[in-house]
Amino acid sequence: MSQSTLKVNELYDEADLDENSTEADDFDEALLKDEDDVANLDEDLDLLQGVNQRVLDATQLYLGEIGFSPLLTAEEEVLFARRALRGDIAARQRMIESNLRLVVKISRRYSNRGLALLDLIEEGNLGLIRAVEKFDPERGFRFSTYATWWIRQTIERAIMNQTRTIRLPIHIVKELNVYLRTARELAHKLDHEPSVEEIAEKLDKSVEDVSRMMRLNERITSVDTPISGDSDKALLDILSDENDSGPETTIQDDDMKQSIVKWLFELNAKQREVLARRFGLLGYEAETLEDVGREIGLTRERVRQIQVEGLRRLRDILHTQGLNIESLFRT
């Protein structure tokens, strides 16, 4: 039995998976043909310069072994996913091993952020296993799209726990980062610390929302504090750049947008239009609550209420997919 197979078995124990869980999908060929693919081990190893030889050897061995894991065709992935749904352990393991390279690609984007590459990969593998457990091949989206959200979530949480700086859900941390960035930008522009009212106006948020988030910030260690004595990187910098559109990100984001559009059409017409206008979907540009209200003849407050209703309905839909709405929308 190969070491990569043993590693997967160890991860099963750590993840404490339900024996009746599932997963599958179509690892897009574009991810594998890209010149930046993890099959090119030289580039991966360049990330490890300065690491001691023992770690280097272990990483090189792991990257080499997963390169020999055979990839599944789209038809094979659906077949194995259906078997995994029925509790077939071998099918589930085959799906995991065939997608380990996706984990490496995503893990590389978090290098030099407090955890070694092998640790990032291990955390990402736990996310992959969770994705395999939750995936339903009959729902119509690609496995690589679905798994990416789980992989990123487990890696980001591991980084935050490692820094021991914050203990908040990831979507709250990201929302807080938006408020803090805006406060810094306003301070630079206005030459004074911005008031809650000024931040609220800039973000088109209520004063109550801004006050709540800024009070939360006062109760935790600043996300601007360097995460270690020999690094000027702050926690604010360790989350993945959502504007970073590598080849695999573009493919996966396009797939997710298609899925979001499908889910929007499960809402009523008014909810669908409000969310589409607010978040820049279905051909609309993203608009403020006031702009949407002017366009469709409603007050700002009524638009906000419809948005809340629509997001609540979407949250229920996404819950059945093992996703959370904060992964998709900045609400």
- Give per-residue pLDDT as tens, 253-289: 555 666 677 778 888 888 888 888 887 777 777 788 8
pLDDT for 34 beyond 50: no
pLDDT at 125: 92
Lowest mean pLDDT among 65-74, 176-185, 245-254, 294-303: 245-254
pLDDT for 150 beyond 60: yes
- Alpha-carbon distances, residue 151 vs 21, 184, 211, 295 (angstroms): 17, 31, 32, 39
What torsion, rounded to 10 degrees, do the Cα atoms 289, 291, 294, 298 define?
-10
Q: Which helix (H) or strand (E) holds 175?
A: helix 170-190
Ranges for all domains in the chain classified under CATH 1.10.10.10: 265-327
What span, in angstroms and rounded, lies between the C-alpha atoms of 26 and 296?
40
Q: Which helix (H) or strand (E) holds 231?
A: strand 231-234
Return the structure tokens found at 57: 């050897």
Q: Which fold has domain 3-163?
A: Four Helix Bundle (Hemerythrin (Met), subunit A) (1.20.120)
Q: What is the mean pLDDT of residues 40-62?
A: 53
- Alpha-carbon distances, residue 56 vs 6, 52, 142, 236 (angstroms): 20, 6, 33, 29
pLDDT at 262: 76
What span, in angstroms and rounded, lies between the C-alpha atoms of 66 and 121?
12
Summary mean pLDDT of the chain: 70
CA geometry: angle 222, 122, 105, nearest 5 deg:
85
pLDDT at 229: 41
pLDDT at 233: 46
CB under 8 Å to 196, separation ≥6 — which residues? 207, 210, 211, 214
- Give per-residue pLDDT as tens, 165-222: 445 566 677 777 788 888 888 887 887 778 889 999 989 989 888 888 877 665 444 4
Q: How far is CA 56 from the centre of its chain?
A: 27
pLDDT for 96 beyond 50: yes
What torsion, rounded to 10 degrees, do the Cα atoms 300, 306, 307, 311 define?
170
Lowest mean pLDDT among 38-52, 79-93, 291-305: 38-52
Q: What is the mean pLDDT of residues 298-321?
A: 84
Which residues face 234 on adjacent strands? 226
What torsion, rounded to 10 degrees, do the Cα atoms 255, 259, 260, 263 define?
180
Nearest residue to 278 (alpha-carbon basis) of 262, 289, 269, 270: 289
What span, in angstroms and rounded, lies between the C-alpha atoms of 172 and 175?
5
User: Is CATH 1.10.10.10 the right assignment for the domain spanning 265-327?
Assistant: yes
Residue that is written with structure tokens 């949407």 in the block: 292
**Architecture in CATH for domain 170-220:** Orthogonal Bundle (1.10)
pLDDT at 55: 52
Query: Confidence band (pLDDT; 50, 70, 90) for 161?
Result: low
94, 80 Cβ separation under 8 angstroms: yes
Ranges for all domains in the chain classified under CATH 1.20.120: 3-163
155, 127 Cβ separation under 8 angstroms: yes
Q: How far is CA 22 from the centre of its chain?
A: 20
